[in-house]
Amino acid sequence: MGSRTFPEADRIYINCDNGGSNGSRLHLWKYELQQLADYTGLEIHVSHFPPGTSKWNKIEHRLFCYITKTWQGQPLVDIETVVNLISGTTTAKGLKVKCQVDTNKYELKRKVTDEEFTKIQLFPCEILGNWNYVIKPRR
């Protein structure tokens, strides 16, 4: 989606909470980001909210409330309905939400080996490097 809007981009920025499957300490999260960086050729800059502060994530307040309003009272009977309702979300200031289904199959309980982890091009930032880092493509 984004490559059509920003065809000259050489990096992306991800701001995420610090729990669940995208926690700052999880090797699989960083390994998969490396795969994405290698595939896209983009540097990936990541900042995690400190533990217990995901409620401060602006996306929670600025986007999800509009999505909730869009599908209010609508039966969410299948994935198509959900995607269509999310994609139909707009705001008075011109925000348009884009959404698509990820139909890929993913291995469950995948463990990243020490060897795989050492190959990640991971560069911690100077300030709070455990929560702020860059993953660079290997090519």
The whole-number pLDDT of residue 30 equals 95
The whole-number pLDDT of residue 139 equals 81
Q: Which domain holds residue 122?
A: 2-135
Measured CA to CA, the distance from residue 98 to residue 1 in angstroms comes to: 8
pLDDT-flagged residues of the chain (< 50): none
Q: Which two tokens stand for residue 16?
A: 């995420």
Percent of the chain beyond pLDDT 90? 55
The whole-number pLDDT of residue 2 equals 75
The whole-number pLDDT of residue 56 equals 67
Average pLDDT taken over every residue of the chain = 89
The Cα angle at residue 20 between residues 115 and 56, in degrees rounded to 5: 125
The whole-number pLDDT of residue 34 equals 98
The whole-number pLDDT of residue 59 equals 67
8 A C-beta contact, residue 17 and residue 103? no
Domains of the chain: total: 1
Measured CA to CA, the distance from residue 19 to residue 32 in angstroms comes to: 16
pTM, two decimal places = 0.73
132-135 β-sheet, strand order: 11-16, 43-48, 132-135, 122-124
Q: What is the pLDDT of residues 32-71, one digit of tens each?
A: 999 999 999 999 999 998 877 766 666 666 788 888 899 9
The whole-number pLDDT of residue 119 equals 97
The whole-number pLDDT of residue 98 equals 87
Residue ranges of E strands in 23-89: 43-48
